[in-house]
Structure 1
């Protein structure tokens, strides 16, 4: 199982090679985000997708069924612990700040593991406010999963793009008032697995969602 330092090094290589489109807003597209052994271990976590029915276009419509790399899961599953430690690492934080221009030091790491099934959709939204950084890592292996990426919208909420979502690809953006994104209804034949990595403000109320609720991140150097 790759240790935090190996996860960090691998991720930073992916970040360095990322493409950086400017439209409809600055974002970064990554390949090979995690070491393959780490990505496979996340997929193999003993977590059954929740049967939640209608989402009303929002993830928080069923908060009780959401899974985070925090608390017991962080303690019991080495892949969760190692991955969280890799993104808590000051060198990772510094590299993300340099690549994206985001100010992350002093914020807190939040990693959600999503397992979306048939009927899932998300209305266009921006992530503005308490989230200072958003990255999605796509981990689906089902046929057609490459087309299950995040939809990107312009300021008028017109879909103008879709992130590629083959296994272990990723999308980064820095939330702002124009970072409209969502997931338009489409067939999901299987499970749409992804990690959502955020750095959130110190006042984040749901402390149980944070990987290290008593440890704000800091940037190396």
Structure 2
């Protein structure tokens, strides 16, 4: 899934103690290096000619097409709920191309479509932050942050009227490229807040996984 791409497919780094802090730091370094990238934002499908800060994916069956785009970068930069590190490292990958995915849909029943913003790294599309913004009125001049997830790797999406958060799971001994599994958390809007309504976990097969570093005493 986009935003959860394998950060180092040709490396064999191990996930050991302090893995969460190390991965967060690595994600920060990757994002900080965006301004020097010549690749820009990596997107599936046709190349985009507009700024990624205002671009949207091809709408899925659960997304809501809209004509007026939201300046997602401005939302992030002006949002006190977004960490200072995310704001500091959010820079264009090339010219005005920001590593930002924007999804529009109906999650909260607000006066306008809600806005899901995913912050990625330039080179690997590694998800470092996911946010949901709700319009305060029909004008769309002001939005409020109603959900935030900054434990990377993370990616938010809309499934019908549900918010889905996807995280990769690493076990001790996993290479950075090859997590052991994946968690998908489902949230629904109720009483002015998102409530978790479901969770699924997938264990990935290690058969043929060359990114897995053999344990001590095992022939490579």
Tell me the TM-score normalized by structure 1.
0.29
Higher radius of gyration, 1 or 2: 2
